[in-house]
Amino acid sequence: MKQTIDIAVIGAGLTGLTTAHYLKKAGKNFRVIERKKVVGGDIQTGHENGFAFEQGPSTGVMSNEFVAELFEDLQGLCELERPTDAVNKRYVLYKGKWEALPSGLMGGVKTPLFTWKDKLSLLGEPFRKPGTNPNETLSELVLRRMGKSFLDYAIDPFIIGVYAGDPGYLVPRFALPKLYNLEQNYGSFIGGSVKMMREKARIEPKTDKKKKEKNRIFSVKGGLSNFMQALYQSAGTENFLLGVAGLTIVPENGIYHITGKNADGSIFELTANKVITTTGAYELDKLLPFVDETKMQNITNLRYARVLQIALGFNQWMGWQPDAFGGLISHKENRQILGVLFPSVFLQGRAPEKGALFSVFMGGVRNNNLVEKSDDEIRSLLEKEICDLMKLQEFKPDLIRIFRYNHAIPQYGADCEARFAALDQIQSEYSGLYIGGNLRNGIGMADRIKQGKELAGMV
């Protein structure tokens, strides 16, 4: 039977679910169409033998006010979890040993991560001229303002942790707009940060609740799947078509005809006034085959990091007792892993009482083909690295789950400019079509929530 709806949302990951939440709140007539039989996209929690492990993110950052606002709406459906203070400490591997990333001035002076030359030269950072090339890469920017050791042992591990990426490819204007704007608007990272903090303190009173929440790290009690399920409930489960295959969208006279196969094999047909896509860039040529090929190529050429994520659990942990969020590894160290998070250290109920849960990341843009290795090969690479890095005598995990992502994290490089122009052209050519998802506007959970709310607002 052909159904007429106002809005179709393609994809039930965090972006699509947030959009759906706000559409429901506004009383709209909509459907969310999802290929998988479960909601959440990249965000899933597994539970096995006393371990609660994440596939995808373990935490997000409240980098905008939309996160706290959304959780206020979800009260009673899921509960925010504040990680322990350990979450603020991070290690960086330096010459094979974990070094705490300094947070204060004294720590910064004493740390072996950066050379004396670069530490002294940092004093001159506020006086260096801002860059003039808008497509300068992050490596070029950091070398120009901070020095090589900062690039190798602060920025490179940070970028590996966030993007599984390469600072030599990412363009700050697109990948780290806040950092880019610090230099462009205030002339320097250090001076700009100080001025911005002063301006904010003037505008936002200290008692402001939203200010207190700003930049806090968050998770959800019992795992982030509970957050996805809460959004699914709040958006109305009756508004979802899950397990859909062969989706096609055809525009005709200002409306969109949508067909696909339900999970039970039956065919559905919908007509919608508006379509919002939230899938990866690599899906769009199949989903929107009516779009001009050249414009579409500017979108589908988006590069992605391929990543392996391994949930590693021990009932009785006998190795080094970490006291931090995790440890990140610069590519200079030539290791097989990108980094390790310690979820059982900073989140509740993630491992049995005396045990430990780790989330290990491998692959990334510099080692994109590692995802093709077999489970046995991955296991033996892990054994070598974890025994060495976590001071473990014998590698006998009680939980080992390997997850492979062929399109884990989009890499915002210089080609974003042409991509964003193509997206704008397509949207103005096809009224009622909105292309969202993490192909633009940021990759973090807070960015996805912000975009989801904005997409709902637009329609």
Ligand X SMILES: Cc1cc2nc3c(=O)[nH]c(=O)nc-3n(C[C@H](O)[C@H](O)[C@H](O)COP(=O)(O)OP(=O)(O)OC[C@H]3O[C@@H](n4cnc5c(N)ncnc54)[C@H](O)[C@@H]3O)c2cc1C
Binding site for ligand X (CB under 6 A): 10-16, 33-36, 41-43, 56-60, 244, 247, 278-280, 283, 287, 307, 309, 405, 408-409, 437-438, 443-445, 448
Nearer to ligand X, 148 or 373 (CB): 373
Nearer of residues 152 and 283 to ligand X, judged by Cβ: 283
CB of 13 to ligand X, least distance (A): 2
Q: To the nearest whole angstrom, how small is the minimum distance from the Cβ of residue 28 to ligand X?
A: 19
Query: CA–CA separation, 269 vs 258, rounded Å?
Result: 6
Angle at 100 between CA 141 and CA 120, to 5 degrees: 45
Q: Decide if 224 contacts 10 (C-beta within 8 A).
A: no
Nearer to ligand X (CB atom), residue 350 or residue 448: 448
For the CB of residue 107, give the shortest distance to ligand X in the complex, in Å.
24
CB of 244 to ligand X, least distance (A): 6
Closest residue by Cα to residue 152 from 163, 162, 138? 138
Of the pair 322, 364, the CB lying nearest ligand X is at 364
Name residue 238's amino acid.
E
Least CB distance to ligand X at residue 132 (A): 31
Nearer to ligand X, 156 or 447 (CB): 447
The answer to whether the CB of 449 falls within 8 A of the CB of 66 is yes
- The token duo for 236 is 């109305």
Beta strand segments in 411-454, E: 433-435
Q: Which two tokens stand for residue 248?
A: 């096609």
Residue 451: other Cβ atoms inside 10 A? 22
- What is the distance between the alpha carbons of residues 137 and 173, in angstroms, rounded to a whole number? 9
Minimal distance in Å, beta carbon 246 to ligand X? 9
Closest approach of ligand X to the CB of residue 198, in Å:
28
Q: Single out the residue of 55, 33, 67, 37 nearest to residue 279, CA to CA.
A: 33
Task: Give CA–CA dist 358/342, Å, rounded.
Answer: 5
CB of residue 280 to ligand X, shortest distance in Å: 6
User: E strands of 278-345, at which residues?
Assistant: 304-314, 326-328, 339-341
**Residue among 244 and 399 whose Cβ is closer to ligand X:** 244
Cα angle 57, 309, 314 (rounded to 5 degrees) comes to 95
Q: Which of 333, 299, 294 is nearest to 419 (CA)?
A: 299
Which residue, 43 or 93, is less far from ligand X as judged by CB?
A: 43
What is the rounded distance in angstroms from the CA atom of residue 172 to the CA atom of residue 161?
Answer: 16
Q: C-beta of 299: minimal distance to ligand X in Å?
A: 14
Query: Could you tell me if 350 and 344 are in contact, meaning their C-beta atoms sit under 8 angstroms apart?
Result: yes
**Paired tokens of 220:** 């959800």
Closest CA to 359 of 377, 386, 335: 386
**Cα gap 222→337, rounded to integer Å:** 27
- Residue 239 CB, shortest distance to ligand X, in Å, is 15
Minimum Å distance from CB 447 to ligand X? 7
Q: Which is nearer to ligand X, 304 or 430 (CB)?
A: 304
CA distance 425 to 421: 6
Q: Which residues contact 309 (CB under 8 A, 6 or more apart)?
A: 55, 56, 359, 360, 361, 362, 402, 403, 405
Tokens describing residue 130: 């801002």
Nearer to ligand X by Cβ, of 146 and 365: the residue is 365
Quick one: 3 or 248, whose CB is closer to ligand X?
Answer: 248
Q: Which is nearer to ligand X, 330 or 451 (CB)?
A: 451
Distance CA 363, CA 175 (A): 20
